[in-house]
A and B are shown apart, each in its own frame.
Chain A
């Protein structure tokens, strides 16, 4: 039996003005378990708290019921008071007789009656309270960043600079990601490589950062503070320690016909290659699909030429197992392929490019050396048409439902770059809306239209027709309400930003939830935008949704800070109001597991001693470090073996009973 103290707060006249404090205090004394009841002007004040502490001591109280303002206001205060009095902080219940009573009712009689009932409910619940102890778990002081684009690099640098070790796992042979492919960046038109390359080098040279390029995450287990990850480092066929990056192998390689991924297939590379000149690490990879040695067993020229004997055709994938305290997802995006939209002739005419392909073409290190030309006849185009919203803002069946956010800006950038270099080329941009929120963004777009004379046409392109080697663009000018045709030499499609569908497998591994577009879901859309609902998993960059570079970098930093919040702790202290499974009752049916948004429930085969009957059973176990205490599992559990500490079935029923006991 509890020894409960009930404390009724006046809150000056806030409560006492409408509620008969005396009546509530008196009737509290008659409630079961109550051994002491008192009132005070301001319960939350020093004096009020002291009164509680004294009462605990004098009356040997085991629990405290405070009738005062909302628990959202002072629950923490009174928990601390209880702790100071030597009680478990969870032996406190609050009856909200201010926000939910005195402030909304005018009639003194009914407000007093309601306050009494709320007090009774709090006491009924408190009678069933048990001391709760938050779980503690250790923290591995190491972070894993999945994805080595600008988001991943920035997050890794921020964490590393704060003094913690970080591993970056990157799927491709180099870090750098999409940003490395860009020519210039908006709205400043500075060179992308010039600002990115130093960061790549920083990351590579940082004492606290280890790079795992050409690697993928194979398996993730564990939870916040101690994730256990298996990283597959794919066979490069080049010994990383021995290679000095001289590039002789690349020059010697007889295969020159492989498509360059970096140039979006617009140029060719050898079978042994580094994706681009500034690649980090500067260690070649053998593309085993195109390598003659792997196809026929003959060749091996690279092996012969290599002065450091770094070529190793026998190299195998290597599995690295590591523990991490936190994981940051920075998997980025890929541009949507416009092939499904037949009207744009993409893939049919070499003069229809995606924006990223165009970006490569404009780049001085790109496939054409920065010379703009029609790939059909190598001539300089006279007229270029840009089409926006390709695949974005569409019905789910026809593309992506969201706005890809960056296309308006990069299209303006492209138009400007063309005009800058070739003022004689006609540039037309078809748009639905031009969306340019962002610092200096609208100014940038206006510059394109006003200073550079880019012809912005509101309306969509119906189709392209190949007319004697030129591309006839048939479209509608909505402002004129007229049909127009433009003969273009080059058409550039601003394709939607798309999360790569293979990220879903990673999401499953991490038990991090994802939306229908394969973007990772944030823990709260407004208040926790860089955290995944799964504790210890953070989101950096476009993997969470379309973003431009400054936003990506900002979010990368934010994710790093959130991650550091965990890494800097020696112990993680959990919320003790979490689910708990009664193993004696558990059926092992997986109902709870199916609804847990955090993947906090695991099943184990375990010997259970049920009143002397010992047998092996499949039972649910809640991982205290992961559970957030929502209670979804408790209702899914038919047997009632899953219960929520601090909000148990019995406690809630006791509150219901008390409220209905009129």
Chain B
């Protein structure tokens, strides 16, 4: 473990930026989001979660994946793949860091169907996490065994009073650390123990800390699926995509074509299961009602995903949906409403 006075952080960022493009939560146009660091940027590491999760660094909202054009009556396909520059994300929270592992399960796990666009971004990105000093009332990462005091990623950091603690966890992390090591002093893990305990203390007071997901298993699928709770909880859902688009783990996308007049761009873009045209096919849509789409989202996160991925829920407890849903619907409410369905 290494450490460095907070006053030298700018110097550190400058050094990392010289190695690879550095992104971190910045305030710009009264919005805080991950953006390209510069010496005069307004850094907002105090902000717990950016509204937009940093998942778009690996899985962007839209991406051109192919292009075609015609020459006379001939169709020519263009290669539009571009080289991904190495980059680093600083200030990623434990929950968001875990979300990348979940996305890996989708885009990388099946070796026959690797999303190479995602893959090259993953390979080129280093995730530097920061422990959460002041968890919000909407946080429930502990439910998924994520520890805000041990935030994970390639490198974990803690900002405790005037000191930044730095700990590499992976080979990629160590690689970067090696290059900038000269700035740091050595530190001992015991130095952060008190701080970690303090964070755990706050987490123990969080309103949703006791949320239980017992019983959300494949065996209970039919009972959960056919629960009559769904109708009641989905009734006032607006079918907007807020929850999906700010969720760090949602990963559905659509493929659409755009004719620029000179060529066709084939665009991969985020989709939301809350939209009525999600899974719309030539014959129609297998999910015609709001209830079905709403149910899909939560069944996917809480039942289907863990069933297919060794029990990993497609949720990291970041609390974004709890904060931002226009009608205050969120995964916590759903989990509570369905708690007893299918419990033996």
Contact = CB atoms under 8 A, between A and B. Distances in A.
A and B touch in the complex (CB under 8 A): yes
Interface in B222-279: 259, 261-262
Contact of A30 (B73, B259, B262, B288): B73
B186 interface: no
A37 to B, nearest CB: 13
A291 B70 CA distance: 89
Contacts of B70: 32
Contacts of A30: 72-73
Interface string A225-236: 000000000000
Contacts of B261: 657, 660-661
Interface in A612-626: 612-613
B284 to A, nearest CB: 4
A659 to B, nearest CB: 10
A611 B285 contact: yes
A660 B288 CA distance: 39
Nearest to B283: A611
A32 B284 CA distance: 29
Contacts of A612: 284, 288
A661 B263 CA distance: 10
B262 A661 contact: yes
A4 to B, nearest CB: 13
A657 B259 contact: yes
B327 to A, nearest CB: 22
Nearest to B70: A32
Contacts of B73: 30
Nearest to B285: A611
A613 B259 contact: no
Nearest to B289: A613
**A interface, size bucket:** under 10
Interface in A621-662: 657, 660-661
A661 B262 CA distance: 7
A127 to B, nearest CB: 12
Nearest to B73: A30
A613 B288 contact: yes
A400 to B, nearest CB: 55
A335 B285 CA distance: 67
A657 B70 CA distance: 16
A656 to B, nearest CB: 10
Contacts of B284: 611-612
Contacts of B288: 611-613
Nearest to A611: B284
A480 to B, nearest CB: 76
A311 B70 CA distance: 89
A657 B260 CA distance: 9
Interface in B63-84: 70, 72-73
Contacts of A613: 288
Contacts of A661: 261-262
Interface in B21-74: 70, 72-73
A30 B75 CA distance: 12
B187 to A, nearest CB: 61
A611 B73 CA distance: 37
Contacts of A660: 261
A545 to B, nearest CB: 51
A32 B73 CA distance: 8
A613 B291 CA distance: 14
A661 B70 CA distance: 13
A611 B286 CA distance: 10
Nearest to A610: B288
A5 to B, nearest CB: 15
B12 to A, nearest CB: 49
A167 to B, nearest CB: 53
Interface in B167-215: none
Nearest to A660: B261
Interface in A583-621: 611-613
Contacts of B72: 30
A661 B259 CA distance: 11
Nearest to B72: A30
A32 B70 CA distance: 9
A58 B73 CA distance: 21
Nearest to B71: A30
A612 B287 CA distance: 12
B286 to A, nearest CB: 11
A660 B262 CA distance: 10
A660 B261 CA distance: 8
A657 B264 CA distance: 13
A508 to B, nearest CB: 40
Contacts of A657: 259, 261
Interface string B131-152: 0000000000000000000000
Interface in B263-317: 284-285, 288
A554 B262 CA distance: 61
A170 B148 CA distance: 89
Interface string A143-177: 00000000000000000000000000000000000
Interface in A31-48: 32
Contacts of A611: 284-285, 288
Nearest to A27: B72
A96 B135 CA distance: 68
Contacts of B259: 657
Contacts of A32: 70
B265 to A, nearest CB: 14
Nearest to A35: B73
A168 to B, nearest CB: 57
A611 B280 CA distance: 11
Nearest to B259: A657
A657 B73 CA distance: 19
B309 to A, nearest CB: 33
A382 B284 CA distance: 92
A32 B69 CA distance: 12
A141 B72 CA distance: 58
A430 B36 CA distance: 86
B33 to A, nearest CB: 32
A611 B283 CA distance: 9
B69 to A, nearest CB: 12
Contacts of B262: 661
A591 to B, nearest CB: 22
Given A660-B261, A661-B262, 7 more contacts: A30-B72, A30-B73, A32-B70, A611-B288, A612-B284, A612-B288, A661-B261
14 contacts: A30-B72, A30-B73, A32-B70, A611-B284, A611-B285, A611-B288, A612-B284, A612-B288, A613-B288, A657-B259, A657-B261, A660-B261, A661-B261, A661-B262
The 5 closest A-B pairs by CB, nearest first: A661-B261, A611-B284, A30-B72, A657-B261, A613-B288
